Structure 1
């Protein structure tokens, strides 16, 4: 029996206080370039005019790839910026229809 990875897709909704936009942007600039190393892809990135709401559609080749991205030390080392931004995040697993 051969193993077939099942791709996963997430919609991330970030609500960022105006005072945290710069920290949130710096965090994203640091961690989004890591995605390809984990078979991840930023499909779409949307932002409102003042930067206080951002929506990402992100996909990974498998849940294991996503989990490896989440625990990567280069990513976790940047978590202080995300915390300082006071962003409220909602991550939703999604499927193509």
Structure 2
């Protein structure tokens, strides 16, 4: 069963470069796990991003989350001090 998430990231100004480096490293992995970045929005100063991401299944999402190439980049996310909110969503 397909799943969709809304991700909201609030990034301190000093963490924007690290957050972008993390995203540049991990977003290209999505297709390998039947994932798709449906929409990516960013405010003018880069301190807030919203992503709509879908996966073909919960298993695909978990496999993406656990992929060693993604987990190897988590230090960049942590260094950015971004606060993330991930919410499962449904089409209406």
TM-score by length of 2: 1.00
- Does 2:40 align with 1:72? no
Q: How many residues align?
A: 92
| Per-residue CA distance 1:47-95 (angstroms, 9 max, x = gap) | 0000000000000000000000000000000000000000000000000
Aligned twin of 1:50: 45
**Pick from 6, 16, 22: which aligns with 2:11?**
16
Structure 2 unaligned spans of 5+:
none
Structure 1 unaligned spans of 5+:
1-5
Aligned twin of 1:93: 88
TM-score by length of 1: 0.95
Aligned twin of 1:38: 33
Q: CA RMSD in A?
A: 0.1
